Amino acid sequence: MSARTKIIKPAGVQPDELELQLAQNIFDLEHNVAELKSDLRGLQFTSAKEIDIGHGRKAIIIFVPVPLLKSFHKVQTRLVRELEKKFSDRHVLLVAQRRILRRPSHKSRVQQKRPRSRTLTSVHEQLLEDMVYPTEIVGKRTKVKVDGSKTIKVFLDRKDHTSLEYKLDTFTSAYKKLTGKDVVFEFPVASSQE
């Protein structure tokens, strides 16, 4: 077995250097870390993209097939920690590779109704949840300015404040790159009565 088996690509498409390097690291983790061996055995990813998040820093977004997402979630915290050690000064994000189907027009001959999970709104919502996975989204607000621009304010669970604080800028710029939407991640302020 080789590291190449960790990448799922359509026939004829070759993986790039980053994807091969990522596959090799996951393959090495599978064979060298005993407690991760069984969890990483069947896991594969479809692609990886490196994005610039500003201030000279970069992030790696790993796209995984939707059916394997639950399996990735079991080992996500450990896997991300190990990969961030290997790719120093780069944050690693795991998101599902979802498909958006266009809205059927009156000219298109569609035999069946478009599933709700394939709509643009649904895919963007799921992407947001995938991106912040170990924590949960506890609230969302959409702020519309006078000029018509929208900003989404996302409130994350307060208990993960210490472990995710350094990644909030990465989440913001990665979501902006993938969807084109402005988003601000915050932790809700604890009320003074508690």
Q: pLDDT tens digits, residue range 83-101?
A: 888 888 889 999 999 988 8
Question: Among the listed ranges 3-12, 22-31, 140-149, which one has the minimum average pLDDT value?
Answer: 3-12
Q: Scanning the structure block, which residue is given the tokens 């993209």? A: 49
Give the pLDDT of residue 192: 45
Residue 156 has pLDDT above 50, yes or no: yes
User: How many C-beta neighbours within 10 Å does residue 166 have?
Assistant: 9
Confidence of residue 4 (pLDDT cuts 50, 70, 90): confident
d(CA 18, CA 60): 9
Q: Which residue has the higher pLDDT, 142 or 9?
A: 142
d(CA 155, CA 141): 8
Cβ neighbours of residue 77 closer than 8 Å, sequence gap 6 or more: 134
As given in the structure block, the two tokens for residue 105 are: 């027009």
Q: What is the pLDDT of residues 26-42, one digit of tens each?
A: 888 888 877 777 778 88
* DSSP string for residues in 4-33: GGGB---TTPPP-HHHHHHHHHHHHHHHH-
**Phi and psi dihedrals of 140, rounded to 5?**
-145, 140
Helix residue spans in the chain (DSSP H): 17-32, 34-40, 69-86, 120-131, 161-164, 168-179
As a whole-number percent, the residues of the chain with pLDDT over 90 amount to 26
Question: Closest Cα to residue 168, out of 97, 94, 91, 116?
Answer: 91
- Count CA within 13 A, CB hemisphere, residue 41: 5
Q: Provide the mean pLDDT of the chain.
A: 86
d(CA 59, CA 172): 11
d(CA 48, CA 122): 22
